[in-house]
Structure 1
Amino acid sequence: MRASRIFCFALLPLLASCQVFTEKTAEPESEQTRMQGELSLSAGQLLFRPCREQRQFIVNNAGATGLSSDANNLFSIGHSTLYVDMRGQLQANAKTSVDGQFVPSQVYRVQAEGQGCSDINFARTMLRASGREPQWSIAVSNQGMVFNRVGQEPQALPYLEEQLPEGRLSLSSEANGQRLELWVAKQRCVDSMSGAVQHMSAELRLNGDVLRGCAFLGGARND
């Protein structure tokens, strides 16, 4: 027993040094800001205007996240403005025509259709997943899960969540005579009909059937 105590105390300086090192490497992450807004294209440059603001920022280094490619694909089919939800750093920029620049590190969603900035439920949403053929959607908040299927009334369901390695999540519910399992993973996902891009793929298992779709984390939850 005494040897064990000596060994533990001997590790204290090492543990303390590890803690200091971890805190230092985490500092840049605190500078990251998650923002939603309108994305437009001017003279080949992506411009970002946050929701309900007049400020405008140049989007720099968007290619590193795939945002340039995804946005250009949507612009190329006739859309003039897009909705984007992303995390990154706000920085100064020498151009007087803008209020600075935004350097994204994570893009949660870019789309041309949908509620966008007018989505009043976004801030309360933890996760949203949806798929087509047949159409289905799931919205998750701290109040529970709401499951929508085409041609049926929305169902409010209790659920259990399991966090898995690599940022994956599993949500399950058994109610109203049916078993529902939703599996989401951090994997770029494109809606085949709208071209919208989300940062997670989704698989819904419903009473033995498997339906696939895309998902994103809402404003009430960050990765």
Structure 2
Amino acid sequence: MRVARSLAVVALLPLFAACQFFDGPRESASHVGQTRMQGQLSAADGKLLFQPCGEQRRYVVNDTGGTSVLQQAATLADAQGKLFADVRGQIVPGSGDGQLDLEKLYRVERSSNACEDPNFKLLILRAAGHTPEWNVKVSGKGMVVDRAGQPPLAVPYVEEQLGDGRFNLSSEANNQHIELWVAPQRCVDSSTGSIQHMTAELRIDGKVQRGCGYFGGSRDD
């Protein structure tokens, strides 16, 4: 599988002195009491329900963060009315299984197997775009750039914070200048229709390709 192969390649990189390492998910003061969760969204009796991966309980979604999740879910819902969602919020006891006070939406997409993604917890960031196809996977071991018609490129990187939640990752490895610019702005994938919480630009030797991105399980700013 391409993802597994890419992560294996980056594990072999000899130079990680310039990489930005993280010990685990970072939690700011504003996130206290909240949990990042992945699961399934569905509609019942005029309400939106969230069922965490691997659980039977379903929580009524209360969009306390103003994420517009109801409208976004309605846009993407398939014939069965079920979607995968990656969210942050707080479980509140109540009638039935309780309520999810949803504060942040990382992504919503049509998917039947996203809960089983073995690489999600290892990733800091994933970004991707189209025409031509490209994707970047970032972990504590480095950055893997995968572009259509070219072998995966595994490189170390440096992260620079730019303010307002924006940042960029850069590398000068393999005689190429590589940059990934990321900004916290709702982004719709032009091919799949999935909704992600960040825009992304991949710049390699001056050539710019645009797409969307989201934080993996190793980071949940």
**TM-score normalised to structure 2 length:** 0.82
Q: Superposed, which structure 2 residues align to 1:6-17 within 5 Å? A: none
Match of 1:59 among 58, 61, 64: 61
CA distance in 1, matches of 2:164, 2:44: 37
Shift of 1:175: 2.0
Percent identity between the two aligned chains: 50
SS in 2 for 1:46: strand
Q: Superposed, which structure 2 residues align to 1:1-223 within 5 Å? A: 29-61=31-63, 64-75=66-77, 78=79, 80-94=81-95, 98-113=96-111, 115-223=113-221
Q: Say which structure, 1 or 2, has more relative contact order (CA 8 Å, 6+ apart).
A: 2
Which one is further off, 207-216 or 114-123? 114-123
Higher gyration radius (CA): 1
Task: Check whether the contact 1:36–1:86 (CA below 8 A) recurs between aligned residues.
Answer: yes
Q: CA RMSD in A?
A: 1.8
Between Structure 1 and Structure 2, the one with more helix by share is 1
CA 1:100–1:49 in 2, change beyond 3 Å: closer, same or farther?
A: same
CA distance in 2, matches of 1:115, 1:179: 35
CA 1:35–1:166 in 2, change beyond 3 Å: closer, same or farther?
A: same
Shift of 1:115: 4.3
CA distance in 1, matches of 2:161, 2:106: 19
Alignment gaps of 5+ in structure 1:
1-25
Which one is further off, 164-173 or 54-63? 54-63
SS in 2 for 1:65: coil
Runs of 4 or more off by more than 4 Å in structure 1? none
Shift of 1:62: 6.4
CA distance in 2, matches of 1:39, 1:82: 5
